[in-house]
């Protein structure tokens, strides 16, 4: 079931939600909150830079310089005697407002110039948008632009990074512009203007974002909250579930270090324009670190935006094409990457695995590859699904087989489809059986 996600689940072979303050000026960020004041949303975020004074020798020279700059900005008060804001936290507040209210880079620069002139007591504060961006970039909140085929066939990434047309549908990589000189298309009246990509995937690298959790001794300790839980009577966290415990039994080396990360994956399409009459949909993919306690892991500040699949239509099962960079990093994380632990003061191999997805039934079909429509729509019954066509609609009457053999509903044919149910529930197919079936499938990305 599925192409790329099955690789992430088959591990043997392998803080803000929208960080739009790091986007270039020509791109647009959208205020997703339709009701209420934007200032209410602003209060939900804590912009304090919570990093510890760790041994700089554990970092590379480049990381060392970035870390020192962040430390200086986070501990330096905005002005002498200021206890409310540090230089870094105040700058983050300004960039957050820029994102919410769509300020241009020029207007942001003018605001900074006014603040520096009006309050000379502010300690060496940046006076332009680009000077502020130099400080913000050290937080590693950037993202990568990866060109994609217009028809969801491929990414111009990896060995295809230099290609100028799709190797599946042979569509040009570049935007089609009418009346411009360039490579003329088959229609003759349009040309492909090189330099303007037709479709762009925005990918937010996962590894540096996971490393940030271990830069603070507080969040590092929280990342081990799930370890050693012995309360088997109450289901309050994924660590109490059977899937988590089953994984622990199989991959004991992974479990031996409580800092190993378990991730949830959520994805769904939405209209970024807040207009019901606009037919446009983009698909963000968000990761949730399940290591954190339940009162933290589902907060927006803990969510990790992984990628934004561009619109305007749903990628459907071809979402696998866009998940390739994420799966590549998940494979690296399964083997482990060097990370510094601020709580223990030592380096360790940080490993991560995808625990489970969060989605509705249509998105389930996209992410898994199992069609949730038609005669075999049930992922639990699979090929044992009972279904038939009635009045142009597909009906699924076999739900009574899951009841106990002596249940009265089994014999009450007049209440259902005029039949008595004698069948027993099918045995759910195991993961090993699914993998055996997948070995006979040659998966090709794209159409």
Express each pLDDT in 422-437 by its tens digit: 988 888 888 788 888 8
Closest CA to 74 of 1, 123, 27: 123
Is the pTM value of this prediction over 0.95? no
Q: Which of 164, 198, 232 is the last residue of a domain?
A: 198
pLDDT tens-digit series, residues 248-288: 999 999 999 999 999 999 998 888 877 666 788 889 999 99
Residue 132 to residue 21: CA distance in whole angstroms: 11
pLDDT of 185 higher than 50: no
**Is the same domain home to 174 and 216?**
no
Mark whether 159 and 246 lie in a shared domain. no
171 and 188 part of one domain: yes
| Structural domain count of the chain | 4
The candidate with the shortest Cα–Cα distance to 420, out of 434, 429, 436, 409, is: 409
What's the token pair of residue 239? 């660590």
Spell out the residues 6+ positions from residue 245 whose beta carbon is closer than 8 angstroms to its own. none
What's residue 112's pLDDT?
93
**Residue 3 pLDDT more than 60?**
no
38 and 75 assigned to the same domain: yes
Residues 175, 170: Cα–Cα separation, whole Å: 14
Mean pLDDT, range 21-48, rounded to an integer: 36
312 in a domain, yes or no?
Answer: yes
Same domain membership, residue 406 and residue 318: no
Q: Does residue 260 sit in the same domain as residue 353?
A: yes
| 20-24, 355-359, 425-429, 442-446: range with highest mean pLDDT | 355-359
Contact 203, 146 (CB under 8 A): yes
Q: Which of 156-165, 276-285, 348-357, 420-429 has the lowest mean pLDDT?
A: 276-285
Are residues 277 and 135 part of one domain? no
For residues 318-326, give the mean pLDDT.
92
Q: Is residue 444 part of a domain?
A: no
Q: What is the pLDDT of residue 75?
A: 80
8 Å CB contact between 296 and 302: yes
Angle at CA 203, nearest 5°, toward 337 and 15? 70
Residue 77 lies in a domain: yes
Query: Could you tell me the sign of the dihedral formed by the alpha carbons of 96, 102, 107, 109, in that order?
Result: positive
Q: Picking from 42-51, 99-108, 304-313, which range would have the lowest pLDDT averaged per residue?
A: 42-51
Give me the chain's average pLDDT, please: 79
Question: Do residues 216 and 364 both lie within one domain?
Answer: yes
pLDDT at site 446: 64
Q: Out of 19-33, 51-65, 75-89, which region has the weakest mean confidence (pLDDT)?
A: 19-33
Both 231 and 84 in one domain: the answer is no
Per-residue 3-state assignment (H helix, E strand, C coil) for the chain: CCCHHHHHHCCCCCCCCCCHHHCCCCCCCCCCCCCCCHHHHHHCCCCCCCCCCCCHHHCCHHHHHHHHHHHHHHHCECCCCCCCCEHHHHHHHHHHHHHHHCCCHHHHHHHHHHHHHHCCCCCCCCCCHHHHHHHHHHHCCCCEEEEECCCCCCECCHHHCCCCECCCCCCECEEEEECCCCEECCCCCEEEEEEEECCEEEECCCHHHHHHHCCCHHHHHHCCCCCCCCCCCCCCCHHHCHHHHHHHHHCHHHHHCCCCEEEEEEECCECCCCCCCCCCCEEEEEEEECCCCHHHHCCHHHCEEEEEECCCCCCHHHHHHHCHHHHHHHHHHHHCEEEEECCCCEEEEECEEEEEEECCHHHHHHHHCCCCCCCCCCCCCHHHCCCEEECCEEECCHHHHHCCCCCHHHCCHHHCCCCCCCCCCCCCCCHHHHHHHHHCCCCCCCC
Task: State residue 307's pLDDT score.
Answer: 93
Q: How far apart are CA 22 and CA 130, in angstroms?
A: 11
Q: Which two tokens stand for residue 333?
A: 């994380």
In a domain, 375, yes or no: no
CA atoms of 272 and 180, how far apart (whole Å):
31
Question: What's residue 76's pLDDT?
Answer: 82
| Residue 326 located in a structural domain | yes
Q: Within this chain, do residues 32 and 66 fall inside the same structural domain, yes or no?
A: yes
User: What's the average model confidence in pLDDT over 152-178?
Assistant: 88
Assess if residue 406 is contained within a domain.
Answer: yes
Is residue 445 one of the residues assigned to a domain?
A: no
What per-residue confidence (pLDDT) applies to 173?
92
445: tokens are 């990305």
At residue 33, the pLDDT reads 34
Res. 199: pLDDT tops 60: yes
Q: Which of 93, 112, 141 is the last residue of a domain?
A: 141
Whether cis (ω within 30° of 0) applies to the bond prior to 312 is: yes
Looking at the fold, whether 271 and 232 belong to one and the same domain comes out as yes
Domain enclosing residue 26, as ranges: 20-141
Digit-coded pLDDT (tens) for 49-66: 444 444 434 445 566 677
Q: Are residues 158 and 296 in the same domain?
A: no
Q: Domain boundary at 369, 392, 415, which? A: 369
pLDDT for the residue numbered 140: 66
In a domain, 447, yes or no: no
Q: What is the per-residue pLDDT for 333?
A: 96
pLDDT recorded at residue 325? 95
Task: Choose between 72 and 145: higher pLDDT.
Answer: 145
Which of 59-63, 93-97, 243-247, 276-280 shows the lowest per-residue confidence on average (mean pLDDT)?
59-63
């Amino acid at each position: 079931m599925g192409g790329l996600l099955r690789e992430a689940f088959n591990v043997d072979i392998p803080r803000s939600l929208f960080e739009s303050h790091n986007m270039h000026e020509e791109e647009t960020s959208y205020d997703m909150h339709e009701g209420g004041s934007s200032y209410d949303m602003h209060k939900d975020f804590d912009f304090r830079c919570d990093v510890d004074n760790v041994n700089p020798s554990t970092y590379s020279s480049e990381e060392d310089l970035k870390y020192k700059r962040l430390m200086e900005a986070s501990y330096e008060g905005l002005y002498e005697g200021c206890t409310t804001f540090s230089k870094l936290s105040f700058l983050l507040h300004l960039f957050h407002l820029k994102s919410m209210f769509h300020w241009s880079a020029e207007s942001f620069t003018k605001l900074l110039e006014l603040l520096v002139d009006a309050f000379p007591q502010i300690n060496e504060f940046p006076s332009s948008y680009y000077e502020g961006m130099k400080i913000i970039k050290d937080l590693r909140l950037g993202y990568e632009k990866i060109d994609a085929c217009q028809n969801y066939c491929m990414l111009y990434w990896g060995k295809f990074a230099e290609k100028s047309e799709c190797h599946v549908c042979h569509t040009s990589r570049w935007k089609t512009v009418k009346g411009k000189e360039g490579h003329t298309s088959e229609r003759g009246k349009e040309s492909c203007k090189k330099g303007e990509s037709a479709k762009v995937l925005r990918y937010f690298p996962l590894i540096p974002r996971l490393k940030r959790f271990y830069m603070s001794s507080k969040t590092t300790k929280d990342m081990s909250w799930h370890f050693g839980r012995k309360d088997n009577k109450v289901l309050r966290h994924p660590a109490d579930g059977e899937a988590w415990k089953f994984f622990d039994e199989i991959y004991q080396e992974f479990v031996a270090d409580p800092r190993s990360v378990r991730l949830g994956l959520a994805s769904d399409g939405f209209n970024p324009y807040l207009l019901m009459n606009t037919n446009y949909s983009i698909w963000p993919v968000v990761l949730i670190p399940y290591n954190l306690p339940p009162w933290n892991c589902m907060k927006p500040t803990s969510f990790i935006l992984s990628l934004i699949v561009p619109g305007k239509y749903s990628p459907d099962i071809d979402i696998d094409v866009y998940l390739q960079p994420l799966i590549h990093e998940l494979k690296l994380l399964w083997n482990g990457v060097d990370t510094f632990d601020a709580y223990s003061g030592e380096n360790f191999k940080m490993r991560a695995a995808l625990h489970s997805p969060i989605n509705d039934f249509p998105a389930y079909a996209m992410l898994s590859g199992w069609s949730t429509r038609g005669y075999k729509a049930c992922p639990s019954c699979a090929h044992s699904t009972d279904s038939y066509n009635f009045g142009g609609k597909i009906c699924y009457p076999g739900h009574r087989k899951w009841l106990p053999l002596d249940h009265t509903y089994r014999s009450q044919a007049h209440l259902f489809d005029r039949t008595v149910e004698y069948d027993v529930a099918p045995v759910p197919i195991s993961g090993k059986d699914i993998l055996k079936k997948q070995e006979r499938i040659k998966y090709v990305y794209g159409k």
